[in-house]
Chain A
Amino acid sequence: MSNAPLRVVLAKVGLDGHDRGIKVVARALRDAGFHVIYAGLWQTPEAVVRAVADEDADWLGISLLSGAHMTLMPRLLQLLREAGLSHVGVLVGGIIPEDDVPKLLELGVAKVFGPGTPLDDIVAFLQQAPRDRHASTAS
C-alpha cells in the first residue's frame, strides 16, 4: 500500500545483562531506513507484547542469550496470537543451539540469526520480506 518505513520493535527478554548486540542491530536497521523502537532490557513477554501492540510494529526482534528460548518463545508467540498480533513477523537473535532452530521456526518464528550474523544479512532479510503482513488487520 505504501512504502512508509517499517516499524521494528527490538527487545531483550530474560535476565542476562548486556545490550551491545541489540543496539548495534538497532543502529544498522535505522541506517537502512527502518523505524526502530528499542524497548529495552529484561523485558517480560507481556511487556514486549504491549510494546508491539501500541507501537503498531511490523516486526519484533527478540534478543536471547540466556538459553531460556524454548520456554520464552512459545509463551511470547502465544501471547502475540492472543493479542491479535499474528501478523507481526518475529525474529530471534542470539545463541540458539542448532537443534532448536527448526523448532522455533515451527512455532512461527520467521528467522533465527546466530551470533556474528552480518548486519547486512539481517537488513536484507527484512527488506525482501513481503510487505503485506497487515492484510489481516488493516486496509
Chain B
Amino acid sequence: MLAPLLERFRQRDRLALARLLSLVARGEQTEEILAGLPTTAKPARVVSITGPGGVGKSSLTGKLIAEIRRHHLSVAVLACDPQSPLSGGALLGDRFRMPAHPDDDGVFIRSLAAAGGQGALAAHLPALLQLVESFGFEVILLETVGAGQGDTAVRALVDVVVLLLQPETGDELQWEKAGLLEVADVIALHKADLPGIDRAEAQVLAALGLSAGPTPPVLRVSSRTGQGIADLWQAIRALPLRRGLRRDADELFRLTREWLAVRFAAVRATPPCTALLDRWRTGQVRTEAAVRELLRLLSDSPLDHD
C-alpha cells in the first residue's frame, strides 16, 4: 500500500516523508519507493558534517541551520548515530542540540540509526538522500561520525565534506593517522573558543603542507561564540556541486563510448576502412599510422544515429 503514501509525498506531506525515510532506513520497499519519487527540479547542496564523536557536529549543524535559514534556503538534516550492536537499540541525541522553530517548514531534522550499524546505514544513504532531495529541500546536512578511511563512501554521495577537528588534549594526531584530512573539502577547527586552538591550527596546516595537491580551506569556528559560522557557510557555498559534476562527466563518457561503438560498426564495412586494413596487413602502413587513419575515418563519418 505504498501508492497513497507516495501520493502524499508528492503533495509535500511531511509525515509521508518521515514515514518513507523509516521504510528506506530499514531497507523496506526501497526500489518501489525510489521509482515513485518525483524528479527534482533543482539539485540540493548535500553537505556532510563529519568528525570524531564529541567534536561538536550536532552543535555546529544547529548553528548552520540558522545561518542557512538567514539566506532563505530550506534545509533538511539527517543525523546519523551508531546503534548498539548488542541490543539493536540506539540513543539518538543529536536533535537536542539543534534548536529549530517548530512552525518553520523550511527545516526538517531526522535522527537515524540503521539496523546493522554504520555500514548498513551507509548502504541506505543514497536512497535516504534522494528522498529528502526529491521532497525539495535546497540544502541537506548529513551528520556522521568520521571514522577515517571508510568515509570515502560517504564522500561520493555528497557535494561538500566539512571535517571538524578540535583542540585535543590526548593523542593529538589521531585524525592524521586515520586519514581523515584526505576526505575533507573544508576543515573547521571547531571549539575555537578553547585555548589550544593555535596549536591545533598549526598542526593541521603542517599536516596539510605535507600532502600533495590542493589543500582545503581551514577555518576557525565556534558554535559556542558563533565565531566563523557565516564564513563557514560561505566556504561551503563557494564549492562546486560535486555530485552534479560527477554525474555530468559520467554521462559524457558514457555517450562518447556509445558514439564510438556506433561509428565503429558503421565505418568498419566501408571501402576506405577495408582498404586501410589491407594496406596495414601487407605492411604498407605502420600500426600507429593506421590507428590515426582509423580515428580520422571515425570522426569524419556521418552519424545517422543522432
Contacts and interface: CB of A to CB of B under 8 A. Distances in A.
Interface of A: 2, 4-5, 7, 26-27, 29-40, 44, 46-47, 49-51, 53-56, 83-85, 137-139
A75 B21 CA distance: 28
A38 B93 contact: yes
A39 B95 contact: yes
Given A35-B113, A36-B89, A53 B14 contact: yes
Contacts of B19: 56, 137-138
Contacts of B26: 2, 4
B1 A35 contact: no
Interface residues of B, number: 31
B172 interface: no
A35 B108 CA distance: 19
B111 A138 contact: no
Interface in B71-93: 83-84, 87-93
B96 A38 contact: yes
Nearest to A7: B22
Contacts of A36: 89-92
B260 interface: no
A34 B115 CA distance: 11
Interface of B: 1-2, 5, 14-15, 18-19, 21-22, 26, 28, 83-84, 87-93, 95-96, 100, 102-103, 108-111, 113, 115
A81 B22 CA distance: 21
Given A30-B89, A37-B111, A47-B102, A2 B28 contact: yes
Nearest to A45: B102
6 contacts: A30-B87, A36-B89, A38-B92, A38-B96, A55-B111, A137-B19
B117 to A, nearest CB: 13
A30 B109 CA distance: 20
B148 to A, nearest CB: 25
A54 B110 contact: yes
A3 to B, nearest CB: 10
Given A37-B95, A40-B96, A55 B87 contact: no
B84 A5 contact: no
